[in-house]
Amino acid sequence: MSGRTIGTIYAKELTDSLRDRRTLVSTLLMPTLLMPLLILGIGSLASRVVSRARQEVPRIMVVGGADSPGIRADLEKSGKFRIEAASADWKALIADRKVRAAVEIPAGFERALGSGSAPPVIVYGFDGELNSGMATGQLRIFFTALRDRTTARLLADRGLPASVARPFEVRQSNVVPPEKTGGNLVGGILSYIIITFCVIGAMYPAMDLAAGEKERGTMETLLCSPASRTDIVIGKFLMVLTGSLAAVACSLVSLSVTLAVAGRAIAAGPASAARGGGAAIAIDPLGLLGVLAMVIPVSVLFSAVLFTVSLFAKSYKEAQSYAQPVVFLAIIPVGIGTLPGIDLSARLALVPVLNISLVCKEMLSGVWHWGFIAAIFATTVIYAGAALALAIRMFRSEGVLFRT
Amino acid sequence: MIEARLLTKVFRDRKKGEIRGADSVSFRVEPGSIYGLLGANGAGKTTTLRLLATLLSPTSGTASVAGYDVATEPDKVRARVGFLATSTALYARLTAREMIAYFGRLNGLGGPELRERIRALAGELDMHDFLDRRCDKLSTGMKQRTSIARMLVHDPQVMIFDEPTLGLDVIASRAIVQFVRQCRERGKTVIYSTHVMSEAEKLCDVIGIIHGGRMRAEGTLAEIRARTGEAGLEESFVKIVMEGQRA
């Protein structure tokens, strides 16, 4: 093995790849732009939709309640609803989004309030529809307040204080620093994004440097040189690894900048207000460093696997059809790792890729299981080494290099 | 010098079974001479030349190139060989200068020595006008000159040409033929494979006719003609190949 030859091959591949538009898009442009597009673009769009729904005064219908004029008047006076004249097809109108919700007030409701044994009020809506959800929510708030007022009046009539019905309050407080909260909220999805870019960043350089070179005839030109096959494969592999790590680095830098810009806006937004407000989403920098350290052997693993697969292909097109299943095989376990309730265990620590996803999620949440971290790092390094050895072996095979 | 002794390469194919790409091929090429390897498509020319250039390793038999064994010292062989084939393409996104420099570095050259070598080759092959142009922007003739410069950058003792004029126009083909002659004049050991009989007649000192992976006939042009009793090389070639098919 010659370091000088490997360096020469790597430098050439780097120059060549930096002039390849497809590689630049997959390793630099896409990872840089995806985060701002997702968080700022889709996030601000979703925020605008929610805020528009909040500002809307929903059209509702009151079904029944002819003998409860006070309730009806209070609903109108609240200014929170636009009451439409009731019609028999009110269910269809809700389904067609022409009316947001309806409330059924049973006969004798207002009169029964005084005795404390009123029949139930039923709120109707379109489950899963945002504006309808807002309207039913407002109706529930209105009737809950009415119930509280009625309770207080009934207690006062009997000479009892209101605290009899509510002897104590329950409050909730977050004891975890904002970095841990942020890590827990976005750790799963962050691991997913990082590992996905780890694969995508390696995919195009691997296909171009292996199958692409075979197809264009430059592989034979290179094989005529005195460079040994091991030097060639390592030089090329290092470029594939560079693509993978560059994609991860770009996505992380882009994500950090996006979170810094958008984090406070998200925290101050309606979604956060609904949770009772909170600090900006913050990520523990130590957790991010841990993720980066774990990502290196994963990058080596994916780079070697994709390079091997691409080497076997006769053409760029064939390499694409081989690489796509590899990408899916990598992304599926990462996706499983993002599911709530899937936590790192001794059994899952042995499953490649899924273990990385889970341990990254934990590290971003500020949980450091050193035993698992060491075991997962070591096994991934072993998998990566085996994949690289396979790539070298494949590159020495005439049947693979001159496959027609 | 090139010396092949009973050089054999067997490929195993799932559908076709065992294929003998080269079957006990023996020949010798002296420095300052051109050996023409003639054969139809699929005759075994490319396999034989790839074995000599160490792109493939022999199943049995041996070959030495510039004094080094192709099986045991392939790196040393490649350092002394220049290989040019229709399948040896250029890197589209590199300039002609970068292409030559890359192969110079892979052959151990560097610094002022490499720069001087590129300058000399560019002068010799009239490349100054396009030396810094990307290879995908070059005309066929320019690409050909860049390939020749790539092949010559380390001044190899042995030159292997595998159907270098395939798909080229008359002018470009003539330039290649002229270049091969110059290699002989400089004392290089040259092996030239083709199925264009007129090229072989013009160029080659010794001709080997290969068919079905086996060497069917070998000798000077006059010896080949005398053996077959035919006036032209083309007729002689057809006669030898037909005999080979019957055997």
Look at residue B88 and tell me whether its pLDDT is greater than 80. Answer: no
Strands B33-38, B206-211: pairing is parallel
Query: What does A162-218 look like in DSSP terms, one character per residue?
Result: GGGT----------S-HHHHHHHHHHHHHHHHHHHHHHHHHHHHHHIIIIIHHHHTH
More confident residue, B64 or A287: B64
- pLDDT of B146 reads 92
Percent of chain A at pLDDT > 70 equals: 94
Write out the H or E segment, with its range, that includes residue B194. strand B189-194
CATH number of B2-80+158-246: 3.40.50.300
Average pLDDT over residues A200-219: 90
Average pLDDT over residues B101-112: 94
Look at residue B246 and tell me whether its pLDDT is greater than 80. Answer: no
A189 and A60, same domain (yes or no): no
- Residue contact B87–A220, C-beta within 8 A: yes
pLDDT, one tens digit per residue, over A241-290 is 999 999 998 988 888 788 777 766 655 555 454 444 444 566 677 888 88
Secondary structure (3-state) at A120: coil
pLDDT, one tens digit per residue, over A328-383 is 888 888 888 888 778 888 888 888 888 888 888 888 888 888 888 998 888 888 98
Residues 6+ apart with CB under 8 A from A393: none
Q: How many domains does chain A have?
A: 2
Question: Which of A208, A213, A225 should one mutate to test binding to chain B, selecting the residue with the greatest count of B CBs within 10 A?
Answer: A225
Mean pLDDT of chain A: 86
- pLDDT of A170 reads 92
* Residue A169 placed within a domain: no
- Residue contact B75–A226, C-beta within 8 A: yes
A233 and A342, same domain (yes or no): yes
Q: Which of B79, B89, B93 sits opposite A221 (nearest CB)?
A: B89
- pLDDT of A242 reads 95
Query: Is residue A57 very low, low, confident or very high in pLDDT (cuts 50, 70, 90)?
Result: very high
ipTM of the complex: 0.88
Q: Which two tokens stand for residue B241?
A: 């190949």
A28 and A84, same domain (yes or no): no
Return the C-alpha torsion angle B179, B183, B189, B195, nearest 10. 20
Query: Is residue A403 very low, low, confident or very high in pLDDT (cuts 50, 70, 90)?
Result: low
Closest to A70 measured CA to CA, from A149, A168, A6: A149
Strands B206-211, B214-219: pairing is antiparallel
* Residue A60 placed within a domain: yes
- pLDDT of B51 reads 94
- Residue contact A224–B91, C-beta within 8 A: no
Secondary structure (3-state) at B28: strand
Average pLDDT over residues B37-55: 91
Q: Where are the domains of chain B?
A: 2-80+158-246, 92-155
A93 and A216, same domain (yes or no): no
- pLDDT of A220 reads 87
* Residue A171 placed within a domain: no
The domain of A98 spans 55-164
Task: Measure A212 CA to nearest chain B CA, in Å.
Answer: 11
* Residue A307 placed within a domain: yes
Question: Which of B59, B65, B91, B153 should one mutate to test binding to chain A, selecting the residue with the greatest count of A CBs within 10 A?
Answer: B91
* Residue A49 placed within a domain: no
CB contact at 8 A, B157 and B80 = yes
- pLDDT of A277 reads 47
User: End of a domain among A164, A186, A209?
Assistant: A164
Q: Length of chain B, please? A: 247
Percent of chain A at pLDDT > 90 equals: 33
Tell me, what amino acid is at A267? Answer: A
B152 burial type by CB count under 10 A (0-12 exposed, 13-18 middle, 19+ buried): buried
Look at residue A227 and tell me whether its pLDDT is greater than 90. Answer: yes
pLDDT, one tens digit per residue, over A75-84 is 999 989 999 9
User: End of a domain among A104, A133, A164?
Assistant: A164
pLDDT, one tens digit per residue, over B112-132 is 999 999 999 998 888 889 999
A82 and A26, same domain (yes or no): no
Task: List residues of chain A with CB under 8 Å from any CB of chain B.
Answer: 5, 8-9, 12, 15-16, 19-20, 216-218, 220-228, 398, 402
**How many angstroms separate the Cα of B201 from the Cα of each of B26, B38, B182, B223, B236?**
21, 11, 16, 12, 12
User: End of a domain among A164, A186, A221?
Assistant: A164
Beta strands in B123-188 (DSSP E): 158-162
Please report the sign of the dihedral spanned by the C-alpha atoms of residue A295, residue A297, residue A300, residue A306.
negative
Task: Measure B100 CA to nearest chain A CA, in Å.
Answer: 12
A125 and A223, same domain (yes or no): no
Task: Measure A254 CA to nearest chain B CA, in Å.
Answer: 29
- pLDDT of A268 reads 56
- Residue contact A216–B89, C-beta within 8 A: yes
Look at residue A183 and tell me whether its pLDDT is greater than 80. Answer: no
Chain A positions touching B92 (Cβ under 8 A) are: 216
Task: Measure A323 CA to nearest chain B CA, in Å.
Answer: 23
Average pLDDT over residues B136-164: 90
CATH number, domain of A82, equals 3.40.1710.10
Q: Rounded to an integer, what distance in angstroms lies between the CA atom of residue B208 and that of residue B189?
A: 15
A182 and A105, same domain (yes or no): no
CB contact at 8 A, A142 and A150 = no
Average pLDDT over residues A184-209: 85
- pLDDT of A11 reads 96
pTM for the whole thing? Answer: 0.81
- The count of other CB atoms within 10 Å of the CB of residue A382 is 12
A251 and A389, same domain (yes or no): yes
- pLDDT of A258 reads 81
* Residue A170 placed within a domain: no
Percent of chain B at pLDDT > 90 equals: 56
